[in-house]
Amino acid sequence: MKTVLTAVIALFVLNGAAGYAQDFAGADFYEGLQNAREQLKPAGAEVPPPTIVDFQADESQAAAVKDWTVMVFINGKNNLEGDGLADLNEMERIGSTRGVNVVVELGQMSTNRLARYYVTRDTDTARISSRVLGTAAAVDMGDPASVKDFVLWAERRYPARKFLLILWDHGSGWLKGNPVQPASDAKGISDDWTTGHNIDTPQLGRLVRDIEAAGGRVDLLAMDACLMQVAEVAYEMKDTRVSHIAASEEIEPGSGYPYDRWLRPLVRNPGMGAAQLGTTIARTYLAANPDGFQGTGLTYSVVEVAKMRDLAVKMDALARAAMAADDKAAVLRARAEATRYSLADNKDLRRFSQLLMQYSEKAEVKAAAAEVERMLAVGQGPVVFSGVSARRTTLSHGLAAYIPENANDINGYSELKLSADTQWDEFVNWLLRP
């Protein structure tokens, strides 16, 4: 479907979509984003003030309390605009049903506008036919307030027993940057290339807490974006009502989720819980990408937020034990061999712990690493599902952590909740000292 849609998306966007349908891997990750962004953003362009619109509900659908409301925040105000339109068209293959609402906010780089849709079923892959509930110009989709406004609007008008929020865009794990400085760097999630803003990890946590303070909630938080399944991001949700997080340790292709493939089982079984729905998203994503992407094995996992507290205690104990024993040689060897991702400072935490158990000669370090390793086995701690692409496998176990090889990206790490509550930030700094 993606190959066909690449040819017809030009019907929807200016300048053709083929140039937008891309993502980047490995050493080219930042360079590719920089080049694409420079091509798309007009030099010296001024951003007009936002147009404020009172978005209306589709009153024919708004009365019933359904099992799920799926809210998809598609920030296409970057080089992924065409993929966002294609994914909305995939959703229309299934559409909203008696048990499920599907609501989308879609921003476009080519027009610097956004629209909200109540997604309805159709089979026309050459056009988007769902009802537009309102439009606005120059809204900053890298501002957490924009996500909050969309979520509260959707939950008031399309009530449900459970709510899924999908943040769709580029992602860079916990890395800080708001606004993005310099403008070419990708940080956090939801990069709006017209403003240079994005949502960093502390803002993401505050966003969910602000939604809850205003009477809303998110049961399942899914990130259709690269590199977001890291301990630092998951732990930021510890004081929220988010039940589970579905995300990837590795990059994603620009096409992201196959939306029709997981919406179909959801509408057939709308009573499924957050863990089951997250796992359904993960399995269908991996099944759609058995060969990985650009030579990279893909990953996807589902994490139970409530169990991140226990994992943080184990991570803290491991950090303290390694530093107290001055076991740097073993830690460096484990870091060098642990599974790394397209941002190389992200390492699979369970694989790192396994290697540290193997290489350390200090009993207390071995014991602490074994506790972290045990908690990251599927079903033993926060990871309830972990998978990899079938024909391009990787030693990934569902949750990465920041175990850096240099200090280039460390700015802002101390601001994270994981840093405040554990010695992991001290461990990172100890690791980087000569």
pLDDT reported for residue 57: 59
Q: Which of the listed residues 277, 304, 331 is the one where a domain comes to its end?
A: 304
CA distances from 191 to 107, 170, 285, 289 (A): 11, 6, 22, 24
In terms of domains, do 286 and 329 share one? no
Torsion angle in degrees (nearest 10) through CA of 211, 215, 219, 223: -20
Placement of tokens 């980047």 in the chain:
24
Q: Which of the listed residues 304, 327, 353 is the one where a domain comes to its end?
A: 304
Of 416, 209, 383, 211, which Cα lies nearest the Cα of 302? 383
Name the pTM for this structure. 0.89
Mean pLDDT by 10-residue block, N- to C-terminus, for the chain (434 residues)?
31 32 36 45 42 56 85 96 96 98 97 96 91 94 96 97 98 82 69 93 97 98 98 98 98 96 98 98 97 94 98 98 98 98 96 98 98 98 97 95 94 96 98 94
Rounded distance between C-alpha atoms, residue 214 and residue 45, angstroms: 35
In terms of domains, do 71 and 127 share one? yes
In terms of domains, do 283 and 316 share one? no
In terms of domains, do 279 and 314 share one? no
CATH number at residue 97: 3.40.50.11970
In terms of domains, do 114 and 262 share one? yes
CA distances from 308 to 67, 205, 243, 245, 416 (A): 27, 14, 11, 11, 14
In terms of domains, do 103 and 185 share one? yes
In terms of domains, do 374 and 229 share one? no
Provide the domain count of the chain.
2
pLDDT reported for residue 178: 73
Three state DSSP letters for the chain:
CHHHHHHHHHHCCCCCCCCCCCCCCHHHHHHHHHHHHHHHCCCCCCCCCCCCCCCCCCCCCCCCCEEEEEEEEEEECCCCHHHHHHHHHHHHCCCCCCCEEEEEEEEECCCCEEEEEECCCCCCCCCCCCEEEEEEECCCCCCHHHHHHHHHHHHHHCCEEEEEEEEECCECCCCCCCCCCCCCCCCCEEEECCCCEEECHHHHHHHHHHHHHCCCCCCEEEEECCCCCEHHHHHCCCCCCCCEEEECCCCCCCCCCCHHHHHHHHHHCCCCCHHHHHHHHHHHHHHHCCCCECCECCEEEEEEHHHHHHHHHHHHHHHHHHHHCCCHHHHHHHHHHCCECCCCCEEEHHHHHHHHHHHCCCHHHHHHHHHHHHHCCCCCCCEEEEEECCCCCCCCCCCEEECCCCCCCCCCHHHCHHHHHCCHHHHHHHHHCC
pLDDT reported for residue 55: 66
In terms of domains, do 299 and 311 share one? no
In terms of domains, do 297 and 359 share one? no
In terms of domains, do 41 and 159 share one? yes
pLDDT reported for residue 63: 66
In terms of domains, do 162 and 285 share one? yes
Q: Which of the listed residues 270, 304, 338 is the one where a domain comes to its end?
A: 304
Show the domain range for 366: 307-382+391-432
pLDDT reported for residue 58: 58
Two structure tokens written together for 46: 């001024």
In terms of domains, do 287 and 299 share one? yes
